Amino acid sequence: MERFWLVLAIVVFFLLCLWGMYVGWRRKSRSQSARVPPFPPIPEDPGEVLLESAGVYLATTTAGNWQDRIVTRGAGLRTGAVWRLHAGGIAVERGGAPDFWIPREAVTGVRRDTKIAGKVMGTDALLVLTWRLGDVDLDTGFRGDDLEDYPQWIEQLKIKGGAQ
């Protein structure tokens, strides 16, 4: 009988931990939905595809704070994704989560990095776009299937007249 109560206590503790994580995620989502505007939808006709990469959408965080994941409106879900560069912006098409558009004029930087919320790599295996949405600066991270695409992305998205 003593073992039963011990197992029951462990199961209850585990369920309380899950419930606490769920409540925390929801609270963070609600507070961010007031601060972070909705991500723009992909235009119906974005134009010709200039560059395309498949891989994994990792996360969007507040710029410069690699662990402050944006979780509102489905942005916190890690999914398989395809990034398509068009003249007007980047289409982020995610399987099982809302797609969104990063307008080209909103991009303020692009770099290779080793970390973004929930993912740390030993090499510069992540492509991170810094962009502005309303009054908020964001970093969006992507782990491409082919890392050889990264220099093309960086070259295409260079900010005219400034450094990355």
137 and 109 Cβ atoms separated by less than 8 Å: no
Query: What per-residue string of b and e applies to 116-154 under the rule 16 or more CB within 10 Å gives b?
Result: bbebeeeeeebbbbbbebeeebbbbbbbbeebebbeebe
Helical ranges in 46-136 per DSSP H: none
Are the CB atoms for 122 and 114 separated by under 8 Å?
Answer: yes
What is the Cα Rg of the chain in Å? 19
- Reported pTM: 0.79
* 97-118 residue pLDDT tens: 899 999 999 999 999 999 998 7
Other CB atoms closer than 10 Å to residue 72's CB: what's the count?
A: 19
How, if at all, do strands 107-113 and 115-116 pair?
unpaired
Residue-wise pLDDT for 113-142, tens only, equals 999 987 888 788 899 999 999 899 999 999
